[in-house]
């Protein structure tokens, strides 16, 4: 039994805490006491404190074997840096904007295993791609992914399990994809397409910056793209909000007070986007990988349709259980690469992660098309 400390007790962090507490001693940390109460009631050790303070963070993680990061993206990079400086291994799901490889030399100097972006996408999608990259010459990689409420409610038809600002970041961060071995950058929410899914119906896809590390780690793949899925019509109102300045980080003067529009927008949207107790969601992902394997043209397709179950949100399950699986293989030494590791580096461990997820009801269906 290992000692694990989880930084962040939101919807995803709390799911990981309960999952890992099956076999390990877990401490869940958050600044919000209310978020910690359900975990305390489940018998999990909790600590209400501020992990943005470097000295405080490094002090509380001393006695633990590994750190799991589940803080909002704007805190993620510095949190990971401070954990690495303390010489602790970490598996993280924070979707921060900074380049994680800026911490690679520090992690190597400290002898730390640091796995980043270890959720569903980026995360499991990268692990799948890493697996096939080890076995074939890949020519095309496409990932379509989204988490949505089962009930479509006007006006947003969306609910979030992540920090509202992290969600908004996806709507403003320039989207990069690879075409003919060149990195193309477009604005987020561009190139909308309607995509049909048999058990769901028609969804709308648009460019987002989900490839992340793959652009640097997979230069051998000439075509790669990831697109986010939402209910049709979503993009139009998001573009209106963005064009009107509601997502801006630049301060404005409001009756003598300095305000960042994005902070106000997040404050207003969070009650609308927050998952209520009776809400149900689903996660859908489709991955298509094309290339040559043993001299033959191959096309592999992966489909995920996961729904709310066992009183747990699907997006929290699919994200959190991937991170829990990887936490276990870092703990037992199965994965021990020193430095920053994006999840595609764990391609050799796809079978273990897939089985771990399947045991918890998260099933990726693989089809060999040719």
Cβ proximity of 314 and 283 under 8 Å: yes
Domain boundaries, the chain: 3-120+315-363, 124-307
Q: What distance in Å separates the CA atoms of residue 42 and residue 23, rounded to the nearest whole number?
A: 14
Give domain 124-307's CATH number out of 3.50.50.60, 3.40.50.460, 3.30.70.60, 3.30.360.10.
3.30.360.10
Side-chain half-sphere of 112: how many Cα atoms within 13 Å? 26
Q: Mean pLDDT, consecutive 10-residue segments, the chain of 370 residues?
A: 96 96 98 95 96 96 98 94 98 92 98 97 97 97 96 85 79 95 95 94 94 96 96 92 94 92 90 82 97 95 95 94 98 98 98 98 92
10 by Cβ neighbours in 10 Å (0-12 / 13-18 / 19+) ranks as middle
| Local structure of residue 308 (DSSP, 8 states) | -
Going through 265-328 in order, the beta strands assigned E by DSSP cover 281-293, 296-307
Side-chain half-sphere of 14: how many Cα atoms within 13 Å? 21
Q: Return the sign of the alpha-carbon dihedral for residues 193, 197, 202, 206.
A: negative
Class of domain 3-120+315-363: alpha beta
Going through the chain in order, the beta strands assigned E by DSSP cover 3-7, 25-30, 45-48, 66-69, 90-92, 113-115, 137-149, 175-179, 182-186, 193-197, 201-207, 223-230, 252-254, 257-259, 281-293, 296-307, 339-341, 364-368
- Give every CB contact of residue 184 below 8 A, 6+ residues apart in sequence: 176, 177, 178
Q: What is the pTM of this model?
A: 0.94
Q: What distance in Å separates the CA atoms of residue 29 and residue 46, rounded to the nearest whole number?
A: 6
- Give every CB contact of residue 182 below 8 A, 6+ residues apart in sequence: none
pLDDT at 311: 86
């Amino acid at each position: 039994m290992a000692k694990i400390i989880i930084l962040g007790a939101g919807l995803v962090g709390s799911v990981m805490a309960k999952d890992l507490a099956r076999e390990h001693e877990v401490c869940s940390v958050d600044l919000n006491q209310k978020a910690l109460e359900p975990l305390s009631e489940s018998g999990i050790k909790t600590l209400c404190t501020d992990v943005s303070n470097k000295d405080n963070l490094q002090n509380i993680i001393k006695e633990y074997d590994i750190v799991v990061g589940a803080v909002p993206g704007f805190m993620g990079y510095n949190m990971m840096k401070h954990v690495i400086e303390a010489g602790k291994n970490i598996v993280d799901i924070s979707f921060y904007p900074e380049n994680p490889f800026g911490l690679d030399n520090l992690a190597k100097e400290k002898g730390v295993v640091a796995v980043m972006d270890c959720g569903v996408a980026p995360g499991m999608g990268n692990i799948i791609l890493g697996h096939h990259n080890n076995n074939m010459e890949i020519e095309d990689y496409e990932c379509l992914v989204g988490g949505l409420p089962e009930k479509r409610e006007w006006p947003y038809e969306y609910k979030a399990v992540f920090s509202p600002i992290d969600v908004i970041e996806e709507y403003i961060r320039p989207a990069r994809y690879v075409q003919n071995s060149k990195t193309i950058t477009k604005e987020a929410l561009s190139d909308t397409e309607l995509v049909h899914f048999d058990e769901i119906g028609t969804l709308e896809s648009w460019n987002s910056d989900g490839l992340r590390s793959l652009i640097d780690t997979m230069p051998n793949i000439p075509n790669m793209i990831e697109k986010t899925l939402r209910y049709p019509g979503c993009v139009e109102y998001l573009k209106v909000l963005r064009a009107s300045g509601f997502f801006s980080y630049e301060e404005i003067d409001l009756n003598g007070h300095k305000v960042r529009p994005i902070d106000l927008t997040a404050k207003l949207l969070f009650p609308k986007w927050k998952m209520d107790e009776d809400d149900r969601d689903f996660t859908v992902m489709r991955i298509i990988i094309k290339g040559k394997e043993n001299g033959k043209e191959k096309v592999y397709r992966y489909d995920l349709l996961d729904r709310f179950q066992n009183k747990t949100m699907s997006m929290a399950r699919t994200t959190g259980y991937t991170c829990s699986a990887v936490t276990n293989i870092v703990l037992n030494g199965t994965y021990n690469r020193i430095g920053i590791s994006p999840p595609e580096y764990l391609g050799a461990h796809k079978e273990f992660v897939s089985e771990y997820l399947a045991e918890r009801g998260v099933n990726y269906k693989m089809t060999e098309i040719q």
